[in-house]
Amino acid sequence: MAGLARLMVVGFIVLTVIYVCLSLYSRAVRKEKLREEWYEGAQEQPLEAFVEEGLVEYDKSLRRKLILSVYVIPVILVSVIVYLTNFA
Amino acid sequence: MFALIRWTFWITVWVLIAAFFHYTLPQTDIVRVTDTYESRENPTNYTLFWAAADVDAAGNELPRDVFFIQTRRAQGDVMVYRNEDTGWGWPPYFKFDTSNLQAEASDLRSSAAEPRFVAIRHYGWRNEFMSIFPNAVSVWRVDGPDAPKGIPWLNIIVLTLFAALIYGIWVRWRRFRMARIDPTMEAIEDDLADATGAVTGWFGSWRKKS
């Protein structure tokens, strides 16, 4: 079971790096889109407040939570391979 | 000269990548199992091509019993497979059912007079000089020596994803080079040409004097 522990530790580190990069990237993309939206819109609020509001909304959104599938998909994949190799 | 180095480098890289996939991805052989055996192994030279061994307190690898499956392939040559757990390590087959697989393989033994053909999925290479064996992953009964091996979906998916990844990197690298590196290199070349022109000009004027 030392092998399993090693796989989990290494996997967790690698996936965390991917998760953090993806989160930052996705947030930056959203920020840029909000800015564009503000420039094209009626500009009733100041830019900063508009973007801030949009990002708070984004933090609550499903899209952001979907990034957690970075952790979920490999676990499912490994489970499926374990089943197919040993029990199918 | 530079082109030669570049070609050598890239051919080496691609041969290594191809070898990696050829070793790691599963392949299927149609064989007749002739016998199975167990042998005490302590591979010290090419441990990369064996499952990770248990180590003692000092870090030395301990000898262990390894299952083998002797076969004659449908093409006529012989092939010996090892049968080892990959466990949670590399390559990611997550194989734990070595003993069960050995039992199945033993059950499927047959003689040349009354052949029973089986498909054996495996990864790895057989090399007589290095004494390495492909690792069997699963066996199943098939109708005859010409039985279909099935479409290698896993290999198709893995190689397609890999090609997509490489293409993505290549496109981004090319765009980056065109946007950033090429203009800079051209500017340097222009500067260098100007400077060279100026220096030769100066030398020229200096020479003309004498």
Say whether residue A48 is in contact with chain B using an 8 A CB cutoff.
no
- Which pLDDT score is estimated for A50? 86
Instruction: Tell which residue, B97, B28, B23, B107, has the closest CA to residue B69.
Output: B107
Which DSSP helix (H) or strand (E) runs through B93?
none
B36 lies in the same domain as B128 = yes
B59 lies in the same domain as B112 = yes
Domain membership flag for residue B84 = yes
- Beta carbons of B92 and A78 less than 8 Å apart: yes
Say whether residue A80 is in contact with chain B using an 8 A CB cutoff.
no
Say whether residue A24 is in contact with chain B using an 8 A CB cutoff.
no
CA–CA separation, B50 and B121 (whole Å) = 17
Of B99, B134, B150, which closes a domain? B150
Span B7-19, pLDDT tens digits: 999 999 999 999 9
Give the residue numbers spanning the domain of B62.
25-150
- Which pLDDT score is estimated for B206? 66
Long-range contacts of B93-96 (CB under 8 A, 24+ apart): B93/A81, B93/A85, B93/B26, B93/B123, B93/B137, B94/A78, B94/A81, B94/A82, B94/A85, B94/A86, B95/A85, B95/A86, B95/B135, B95/B137, B96/A82, B96/A85, B96/A86
- Which pLDDT score is estimated for B146? 87
Span A69-79, pLDDT tens digits: 999 999 999 99
Which DSSP helix (H) or strand (E) runs through B135?
strand B135-141
Provide the pLDDT confidence category of residue A59 given band limits of 50, 70 and 90: confident
- Which pLDDT score is estimated for B200? 74
B132 lies in the same domain as B87 = yes
Instruction: Tell which residue, B109, B102, B112, has the closest CA to residue B81.
Output: B102
Domain membership flag for residue B4 = no
B49 lies in the same domain as B133 = yes
Domain membership flag for residue B66 = yes
B52 lies in the same domain as B122 = yes
Which CATH number is B114's domain given?
2.40.50
> What is the DSSP code (8-state) at residue B128?
T
Of B104, B133, B150, which closes a domain? B150
**With contact defined as beta carbons under 8 Å apart, do B88 and B41 qualify?**
no
For residue B209, pLDDT over 60 is answered with no
B128 lies in the same domain as B165 = no
**With contact defined as beta carbons under 8 Å apart, do B61 and B42 qualify?**
yes
Provide the pLDDT confidence category of residue A10 given band limits of 50, 70 and 90: very high
Domain membership flag for residue B1 = no
B139 lies in the same domain as B177 = no
- Which pLDDT score is estimated for A42? 79
- Which pLDDT score is estimated for A75? 94
Alpha helices in chain B (DSSP H): 2-24, 98-107, 153-176, 182-209
The residue among A48 and B197 whose pLDDT is bigger is A48
- Which pLDDT score is estimated for B207? 64
B118 lies in the same domain as B179 = no
Provide the pLDDT confidence category of residue B165 given band limits of 50, 70 and 90: very high
Interface with B, mutate which of A4, A73, A86 (most B CBs under 10 A): A86
Number of domains in chain B: 2
For residue A12, pLDDT over 90 is answered with yes
Hunting for tokens 């167990």 — which residue is that?
Answer: B38
Instruction: Tell which residue, B3, B31, B14, B7, has the closest CA to residue B136.
Output: B31
Q: Letter for the amino acid at A20?
A: V
**With contact defined as beta carbons under 8 Å apart, do B154 and B138 qualify?**
no
Domain membership flag for residue B47 = yes
CA–CA separation, A82 and B103 (whole Å) = 19
- Using H for helix, E for strand and C for coil, what is the string for B178-194? HHHHHHHHHHHHHHHHH
Of B99, B117, B150, which closes a domain? B150
Domain membership flag for residue B18 = no
Query: Please, what is the Cα angle at B157 between B153 and B159, to 5 degrees?
Result: 115
- Which pLDDT score is estimated for B64? 85
Q: Which residues from B are below 8 Å from A4, CB to CB? A: 88
Residues 1-20 of chain A whose Cβ lies under 8 A from any Cβ of chain B: 3-4, 6-7
For residue A33, pLDDT over 70 is answered with yes
Q: Per-residue b/e over A37-70, b at no fewer than 16 CB within 10 Å? A: ebeeeeeeeeeeebbeebeeebeeeeeeeebeeb
B44 lies in the same domain as B110 = yes
- Write down the mean pLDDT value for chain A: 89
- Which pLDDT score is estimated for A1? 66
Say whether residue A65 is in contact with chain B using an 8 A CB cutoff.
no
B134 lies in the same domain as B166 = no
Which DSSP helix (H) or strand (E) runs through B72?
strand B64-73
pTM, 2 dp:
0.79
B131 lies in the same domain as B64 = yes
3-state secondary structure of A38: helix
B138 lies in the same domain as B40 = yes
Size of interface A-B (CB pairs under 8 A): 29
Span B70-109, pLDDT tens digits: 999 988 899 999 999 888 888 899 999 999 999 999 999 9
